[in-house]
Amino acid sequence: MKIIFLNNSYNNSFVIWKNNLQPINNLEYNTKCFDIPNDTVSFRQSSQIPLKAIESLKQQKSFLKSDYANLSRYNLKELDGLQKGIKVFEGLSFPQLAYLIDNFYNLVAYRGCNNKCIHCYADAQTPFHMKANNYINKIDFEDYQNILNGFEELNKRLGFNAFANSKQDTYALFHDADCSMIYLRDKNGKIYDYADLAKMLHDVTGKTIIFDTAGWNLTDKTTQKRMEDLVQKVSNDKKYNFLIFLVSMNPFHAIYNKSVELAVQGDIEKSKKFRDIYTDRMANVIFTLSPLIKEKNYINNMNMLNFLPRALKSETEANGYREIDLAYLMDEILVKLKKMYSDDLMSGSNKVIDYKEQIKDYLDFVNLWLGYGWGSISITNKTLADKLSGIQTTEHINTQEGSYNSALKGKLFEHGTVDVNGKFYMTNFVETYPTDIVLNYKNKGKATAPIKPNLRDEIITKEMI
């Protein structure tokens, strides 16, 4: 048989069309004709799958040769029907699924965060616990299991991992939540912690999974125990070494922000109290996660434990929120961390420290990485500026003219979020667009808090992708 090979001169990607050449998105193409052998391809049969889609998959694989595992190289319309019979994908076309997979970033397990960091791009709010039956802030475990089983089945039908060449190298189970709060229960009451849920996602996609935290309340013994158990599990079993743990270190946390506000008001005593609460909190976070210091992520050989120091540039007129202010904060945290290490050793508890030299090794590691990953935050968001005492700014985040069209082409919006009710959104971390992709979740009709930042009214439809 003959098919047409199209060279997309706009982004140097390749698409295969069987018949009826049509330009896509007004881009120009160079065309060539090739004879394709009818090579056999392994495929899991299903009576619901159109024979045309099966044959097209075989032919396109044969043509693509070594690049066969790159889903973006296929004529996706010709593969429509490969998803038939997978319940969680009911109502979706294959091009819609391919769009979701290519832009996949967050499979949200939990919504809402108690930290309320004022620089948060998602403007995370305290989790809603509404009595209304139509509202949810956590994914049902059955839905979580079904979407991953659906992806696994799709991979089997394709004969390759559809996520292998997707745009993102790392995935996460959160959008606006602190990972210390994430766990699920199945219908029998069995608890799946973050490591369990992350492994399920990793096993299907092969990707590194991110765990991100800005800390938890020291009086929350349940979360503290959950985190200690999680760290023990991950540090003692190499099968979890696909994880990366990120500790967010910044002067924008609500507790520290309260300290700054009180200092501005002249209440130094109360300001110090809130400052101590924050530094105690972060010292405890690092202490609890310290057993991960010796671990490496086997996918990219990164340290499993990493830090994200973020602050405003020191020349900014925003006392309390600058890089220099964060440096002072981190010095205080390190002093408290050293004491926690020493107390752990001297008491014989040995939760983290087994011998004296280990204290120096761990502190050297933390010192090194706290000084390595610095990033400056600009005041480009009016919401952030309004929350920072004494800052005046005329900078705003405006929607770029034509950004909606760019979103449809996938040029600016490459991070996709599956909400806990199965709705799929696209974001560039400045603004967010809904799509008409809705997975067939058990809770697909339930409401959730709006996905931020800057959720737009326009919808990316299946005709546009």
Looking at the structure, tell me whether residues 107 and 205 fall in a common domain: yes
CA distance 343 to 359: 11
292 pLDDT higher than 60: yes
Band of pLDDT at residue 206, cut at 50, 70 and 90:
very high
Looking at the structure, tell me whether residues 34 and 131 fall in a common domain: no
* Range(s) of the domain holding residue 157: 97-387
393 pLDDT higher than 70: no
pLDDT at residue 387, as a whole number: 56
373 pLDDT higher than 70: no
pTM, whole model, 2 decimals?
Answer: 0.84
Q: Is residue 187 part of a domain?
A: yes
Looking at the structure, tell me whether residues 366 and 266 fall in a common domain: yes
Q: Spell out the residues 6+ positions from residue 248 whose beta carbon is closer than 8 angstroms to its own.
A: 117, 212, 213, 214, 308, 310
pLDDT at residue 36, as a whole number: 33
pLDDT at residue 429, as a whole number: 86
CB 245 within 8 A of CB 307: no
pLDDT in tens, 135-156: 899 999 999 999 999 999 999 9
pLDDT at residue 401, as a whole number: 36
Residue 131 or 365, more confident = 365
Q: Lowest-pLDDT range, 158-167, 254-263, 381-390, 453-462?
A: 381-390
pLDDT at residue 43, as a whole number: 46
Band of pLDDT at residue 92, cut at 50, 70 and 90:
very high
Looking at the structure, tell me whether residues 84 and 141 fall in a common domain: no
Looking at the structure, tell me whether residues 103 and 88 fall in a common domain: no
Looking at the structure, tell me whether residues 361 and 260 fall in a common domain: yes
CA angle 73, 108, 249 (to 5 degrees): 105
385 pLDDT higher than 60: no
pLDDT at residue 2, as a whole number: 33
Q: Is residue 339 part of a domain?
A: yes
Residues 160-165, mean pLDDT to the nearest whole number: 96
Looking at the structure, tell me whether residues 38 and 180 fall in a common domain: no
Looking at the structure, tell me whether residues 150 and 192 fall in a common domain: yes
pLDDT at residue 402, as a whole number: 42
pLDDT at residue 298, as a whole number: 79
User: How many domains is the chain built from?
Assistant: 2
Q: Is residue 125 part of a domain?
A: yes
Residues 304-333, mean pLDDT to the nearest whole number: 89
Last residue of a domain, one of 387, 409, 440: 387
pLDDT in tens, 408-437: 444 457 899 999 999 999 998 888 999 999
Residues 443-447, mean pLDDT to the nearest whole number: 92
Last residue of a domain, one of 365, 387, 409: 387
Q: What is the mean pLDDT of the chain?
A: 83
Residues 91-99, mean pLDDT to the nearest whole number: 97
CB 121 within 8 A of CB 134: no
